[in-house]
Amino acid sequence: MQWLPGPEFQYLAGRENKRNLDRSLKPVLDGNMRVLCVAEKPRAAKHIAEILSQSSFRTQNTGNQYVKNYIFDYTVNQRTASFVMTSVLGHLTDIDFPSTHKNWQSCDPGDLFRSETVEYISEDMKQVAMNLREQVRFADILFIWTDCDREGEGIGGEVVQECRKVKPHIQVWRAHFSAMQPGPIHHAAQNPKTLDECTVQAVMTRRELDLRTGAAFTRLQTLNLRGYVRDEKMVISYVDQYLRRENFVSEEFWKINVAYQETRPNEPPLRTSFNWNRVRSFDRHTCLALYNQCVSHPLATVTNVTRKNVQKWKPLPLATLELQKTGTKSLRMTGEEIMTIAQGLYTEGYISYPRTETDQYDDTFEFMPLIQMQTQHPEWGQHAQGLIDGNFETPRRGSNNDKAHPPIHPTAFTSALTGNQKKVYDFVVRRFLGCCGKNAQGDETVVTISIATETFETKGLVIKQKNYLEVYIYDWWSGRTISDFAQGQQFTPSELTMDTGKTTPPELLTESDLIGKMEQNGIGTDATISDLIKKVLMRQYAFKVSQKFFIPSTLGIALVRGYEDVGLDESLIKPKLHQMTETDLKLICQGVKTKDQVLRESVSRYQQMFAQIVWEFGKLVQAVRRYYDVAEDERRRRGHGRFVGHQDLNTGVGDDGDTTTTTGARGRGRGRGSRGGGTRGRPRG
DNA sequence: GCAAGGTC
């Protein structure tokens, strides 16, 4: 992207100066000046206008149904100016290849690393851009109010570029605000800064790199593997192949089990089982020797009894990803469904904005009116009343703050919702009330016993006060009653056995796990993760079975194996790739590297990989022929495939299951359910 | 058709 830097950017030319740069501007307004403010989204524009004008503004419609202009007077440095507050709708522009390279057959995919790109304003944004151009005609100053994050800076750059088409030399201010609160907003208005050109360039770099690499690898794969997969229209995207699985080899182990059964009058007998401190042994002879000693001297001695207070912490304030993580687990909906419903609840005014990273409440946040509102609810009204009557405790503070929105919380009362809407609303309310409550309290007893040379342990838990658990029903803290043991006490175990089992592979990923992993690896953002997961499923890299678990398709496995064989697994799979790009982007933001430099370096890295893949494409083909199996994928889709290397879902082993089981193990190792001849698919004719 | 980032 090339926009002509205005006068205030000129001293940025030496990027070495960047780190010492004071971005403050001296806001000089002459009488009757006009300021055009542009926010990132309509909500923010309205909110800021309300604050600056103390809700005294005139509203004007634009060519876009969502975007409005808010007109009011505002005083900066004792000078009153006429302000117009408007917004865009996220990014204003995007890039693509020129028509000469758009068609997949039009060029070699490798050309896409070097070909031209063209920037354009999408159809949806045409009216938004037009509004900017119209408004800037009357303006003396362009004041950027986009979100204060990297993409926000980039969007600001796009706005500047569009406005300078009309007024090439208009002065640009940038608002730096820490929260959508009157204090920070007024402060930002009174202390404008400059737009950070380096960050803008970082965003433009990301955009270009994503397009080039995404398109090149995807076209290469799709065009050359198409003949080998059944659905010839299937697009074989190069992304999202991180759904890899470990080679898991099941091992047999042995362990010693001890239990004590207490008979109680008028009650069922109470059985207390103990865990071996060695957990398990992979050597049968060792285990047998230890077991034999226990059997010959079976009298157990209680060597230690410890009692302590334990608490289960209440949850953090609710942010988007947590809503999706916990929501997919507890509500039996997909992340995407949850977000759609949440968006609807927000539009109808029942909950706050559902897309936020913030998991800490502002010091000025007013909890009581919101809690009060919920006291009339049949299910949790009483609990809410309890909070008001003294059980309230300030919510914990998480570590994220997007400085734009508070954590997700209910904003209006309703008990009239049904279906999924009710589920999501209930979740938001219960979470909110849970956050405002106290941690759950319990008494834990740890009993240690010794038999012969061996030590065993058991834990009992009595829940004393459920507190937040009463209303936040999605957390589970189960009490466990054990017999009352005293130190020094001796008893003969009712059970003393040596059992065998096999280590089982890690559980299959749930959507909740997947969201967590993507978050950890920096894949996508809170706004895009649920979308990516949907894409993975749509492209059939994985299936969702039992409405819960994700299993990779044979196609997904084939691609991962194929890239492993080419020797690119480490460098091409998403997380690593992402980190490298991310590091470079930060350097651009710091003024250490330039956009051109990073593009040159990264593109050449990608080109090398690309060349290697082209060179060894046969290995990819082989992998697909070897692993890809239409019939197996069909079984997997229906949830009946061979879940190679994982627990069989149909045995009903829960997701909280131990990592070991004694029910016998199933398949081992890699995805060989489809192993066999090379008769699948058909070679390209 | 392909990417990832916004937002409605």
Any catalytic annotation for residue A353?
Answer: yes
Task: Give residue-wise pLDDT tens across range A579-597.
Answer: 778 889 989 999 999 999 9
Task: Give residue-wise pLDDT tens across range A80-133.
Answer: 999 999 999 999 999 999 999 999 999 999 999 999 999 999 899 999 999 999
Query: CB–CB of A136/A167 below 8 Å?
Result: yes
Confirm or reject CATH 3.40.50.2300 for domain A252-313+440-503, answering yes or no: no
Homologous superfamily of the A207-242+538-661 domain (CATH)? Topoisomerase I, domain 2 (1.10.460.10)
pLDDT surpasses 80 at A650 = no
Q: Which residue is nearest to nucleotide B2 (CA to C1')?
A: A215
User: d(Cα A622, Cα A496) in Å, to the nearest integer?
Assistant: 53
User: d(Cα A275, Cα A290) in Å, to the nearest integer?
Assistant: 15
Nearest nt to the CA of A67 via C1' is B8
Spacing of A627 CA from B5 C1' in Å:
34
Nearest nt to the CA of A97 via C1' is B2
pLDDT surpasses 80 at A42 = yes
Q: Which residue is nearest to nucleotide B4 (CA to C1')?
A: A210
Spacing of A1 CA from B3 C1' in Å:
18
User: d(Cα A604, Cα A600) in Å, to the nearest integer?
Assistant: 6
Spacing of A214 CA from B4 C1' in Å:
9
Q: What is the DSSP letter of A5?
A: -
Q: Pick the residue with more confidence: A671 or A416?
A: A416
Amino acid sitting at position A483: S
Buried b (16+ CB within 10 A) or exposed e, A561-588: bbbbbbebbeebbbeebeeebeebbebb
Out of A70, A242, A353, A627, pick the active-site residue.
Answer: A353
pLDDT, residue A655, reads 34
Spacing of A112 CA from B4 C1' in Å:
17
User: d(Cα A190, Cα A51) in Å, to the nearest integer?
Assistant: 13
Query: CB–CB of A119/A95 below 8 Å?
Result: yes
For residue A413, name the pLDDT band (cuts at 50, 70, 90). Answer: very high
Query: CB–CB of A29/A92 below 8 Å?
Result: no
Cα dihedral angle (A406, A407, A411, A414), rounded to 10 degrees? 170
pLDDT surpasses 90 at A522 = no
Interface residues, strand B, Cβ cutoff 7 Å: A 40-43, 66, 89-91, 94-97, 102-105, 124-125, 147, 149, 151, 206-207, 210-211, 214-215, 218-219, 222, 233, 235, 237-240, 343, 347, 355, 524-525, 527-528, 532, 535
User: d(Cα A304, Cα A446) in Å, to the nearest integer?
Assistant: 8
**Taking Cα atoms as reference points, which of A405, A461, A467, A404 lies closest to residue A436?**
A467
Nearest nt to the CA of A87 via C1' is B7
User: d(Cα A244, Cα A237) in Å, to the nearest integer?
Assistant: 15
Cα dihedral angle (A17, A155, A215, A230), rounded to 10 degrees? 140
User: d(Cα A486, Cα A521) in Å, to the nearest integer?
Assistant: 49
Give the residue extent of every domain in chain A: 7-195, 207-242+538-661, 252-313+440-503, 320-435
User: d(Cα A357, Cα A318) in Å, to the nearest integer?
Assistant: 9
Spacing of A625 CA from B5 C1' in Å:
35
For residue A563, name the pLDDT band (cuts at 50, 70, 90). Answer: confident
The residues near A446 (Cβ < 8 Å, ≥ 6 apart) are A304, A305, A306, A307, A457, A458, A459
3-state secondary structure of A401: coil
The least confident of A132-141, A211-220, A344-353 is A344-353
Amino acid sitting at position A213: T
For residue A642, name the pLDDT band (cuts at 50, 70, 90). Answer: low
Q: Which residue is nearest to nucleotide B6 (CA to C1')?
A: A90
User: d(Cα A554, Cα A560) in Å, to the nearest integer?
Assistant: 10
Q: From 3.40.50.300, 3.40.50.140, 3.90.1010.10, 2.40.50.1070, which CATH number describes the A7-195 domain?
A: 3.40.50.140
Task: Give residue-wise pLDDT tens across range A238-283.
Answer: 654 444 443 445 688 899 999 999 988 888 899 999 999 998 989 9
- Nucleotides of strand B lying closer than 7 angstroms to a protein CB: 1-8
For residue A502 the two structure tokens come to 């096999």
Spacing of A144 CA from B5 C1' in Å:
19
What are the backbone dihedrals phi and psi of residue A558, each rounded to the nearest 5 degrees, phi first? -60, -45
At the top level of CATH, which class does the domain A320-435 belong to?
A: mainly alpha
pLDDT surpasses 80 at A547 = no
User: d(Cα A183, Cα A7) in Å, to the nearest integer?
Assistant: 30
